[in-house]
């Protein structure tokens, strides 16, 4: 078992398989602005929609001149209509419940206003000590700001925490924060890797 005092999770790609939901969300915005929709086959843009914060996504897809207006439009969208497209990772809630008896748990996500609805919909309120989004810090991942903020709220140092993420943005943020990192899923090469929540519990649950 790793010598840590708390765990921080990324949301998309770790807690949930949410590429379809994210794509539907951004395509709803693009459609409102008469812009070409992102196809699932376009891996680069799909990955951008899945990992980056909305200002970067919309600036990339619509250009700087239209991004501010698109962000204002996005703020009025009710994300709850896209939540049914999100699939929790198998065993996620049960494993979090068990880990929460041993560690304070947090979420650090490039999502913005949608996170409270997601936490409520999937009944994760009792599991997480802290939730930090891109709205809470000056800079989203890959900058370390939200990991520092999560550590501050958890009253722990970055060196006492483990961040579990699935993207290069997560990995870069952890490295910049001086925080231990574990990759979730097959997309990243990291010293510590988990392929399932069962593996997380086996490694960190302490029996």
pLDDT, one tens digit per residue, over 72-90 is: 999 899 888 999 999 999 9
In the block, tokens 């979730």 appear at: 184
CB distance 11 to 115 below 8 Å: yes
Taking the C-alpha atoms of residue 53 and residue 133, their distance in angstroms, rounded to an integer, is 9
37 closest CA partner among 24, 50, 48 = 24
pLDDT at 39: 95
6-17+87-204: CATH topology = Rossmann fold (3.40.50)
Taking the C-alpha atoms of residue 173 and residue 163, their distance in angstroms, rounded to an integer, is 9
pLDDT, one tens digit per residue, over 122-169 is: 999 999 999 999 999 999 999 999 999 999 999 999 999 999 999 999
Residue 12 backbone phi and psi in degrees, to 5:
-70, 125
Taking the C-alpha atoms of residue 154 and residue 202, their distance in angstroms, rounded to an integer, is 23
The answer for residues whose C-beta is within 8 angstroms of residue 76's C-beta and 6 or more apart is: none
What stretches of the chain show up as alpha helix (H) in DSSP?
19-32, 43-51, 54-62, 64-75, 92-99, 115-121, 145-154, 168-177, 197-204
pLDDT, one tens digit per residue, over 45-72 is: 999 998 888 999 999 999 999 999 999 9
Beta bridge partners of 12: 16
pLDDT, one tens digit per residue, over 165-197 is: 999 999 999 999 999 999 999 989 999 999 999
pLDDT at 94: 97
Query: Does residue 207 carry a pLDDT above 60?
Result: no
Taking the C-alpha atoms of residue 51 and residue 10, their distance in angstroms, rounded to an integer, is 10
Put simply, whether the predicted model's pTM sits higher than 0.85 gets the answer: yes
């Amino acid at each position: 078992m790793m010598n840590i005092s708390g765990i921080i999770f990324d949301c998309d790609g770790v807690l949930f398989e949410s590429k379809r939901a994210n794509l539907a969300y951004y395509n709803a915005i693009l459609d409102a602005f008469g812009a070409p929709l992102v196809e699932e086959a376009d891996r680069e843009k799909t990955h951008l929609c899945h990992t980056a914060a909305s200002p970067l996504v919309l600036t990339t897809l619509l250009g700087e001149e239209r991004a501010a207006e698109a962000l204002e439009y996005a703020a009025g969208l009710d994300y709850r209509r896209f939540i049914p497209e999100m699939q929790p990772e198998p065993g996620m809630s049960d494993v979090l419940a068990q880990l929460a008896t041993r560690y304070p748990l947090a979420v650090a996500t490039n999502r913005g206003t949608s996170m409270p609805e997601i936490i409520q919909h999937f009944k994760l309120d009792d599991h997480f000590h802290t939730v930090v989004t891109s709205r809470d810090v000056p800079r989203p991942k890959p900058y370390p700001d939200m990991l520092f903020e999560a550590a501050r709220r958890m009253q722990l140092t970055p060196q006492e925490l483990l961040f579990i993420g699935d993207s290069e943005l997560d990995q870069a943020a952890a490295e910049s924060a001086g925080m231990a990192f574990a990759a979730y899923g097959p997309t990243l090469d990291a010293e510590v890797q988990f392929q399932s929540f069962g593996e997380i519990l086996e490694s960190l649950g302490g029996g």
